[in-house]
Amino acid sequence: MALSFDHRFKMSGIWWTSGHVYTFRYSSWIHDPTPTIVLLHRTRGIHPNTGHQHRYITGINLSYIPRSHRRLFAMVWVEEYERTNGNTRLTWEMVKRQFPFLQYGIRRYLTKPAYYIQNPREIPFEHLEDAIVDTWSKDFSKKLKVDLMKKYRHAKKDVQKHKKNPFGKFLNRIFRG
């Protein structure tokens, strides 16, 4: 079975639709055991080139977005949601074009085994802004920034270490600073 991307599917007894907001208990969590996400799509199948099996949902976890950007996203998204009566398909291209600050909040959640995602529920439109504001007690955006800075410093240190190497000179031009 080749890879397929589903923008509307039934899982755990509820219909999941791209662009809608969901909350659930995730048992394979690292930072956030109860994510509140805006669903992008579900990926399933076997990659034709690598043979890897994919079975996860992709969504924007609002806890990884800085609070000021959450408020901006909430205002814009509620307006878009209302304008289209909830029939907006949120895609990666749309996120990059319209909401570039959301790219750091993109997370994948495994759907198999079935006990990974427990007690899912869709947030109704009337409570959408409340749910987004509810995530204000959780803010993992600073943790994300710290992790990115560690990776950048580590890469820069590697470039400095390999300056004499021709490839190291190339990397040094990229990471000047």
pLDDT, one tens digit per residue, over 27-43 is 998 888 999 999 999 99
Instruction: Tabulate helix, strand, coil % of the chain (nearest 5).
Output: 45, 25, 30
Cβ–Cβ under 8 Å, residues 62 and 36: yes
- Predicted pLDDT at 107: 92
Spatial contact of 44 and 54, defined as CB atoms under 8 Å apart: yes
What predicted TM-score, i.e. pTM, was given to this entire model?
Answer: 0.76
Task: Find tokens 């907001």 and name the residue.
Answer: 21
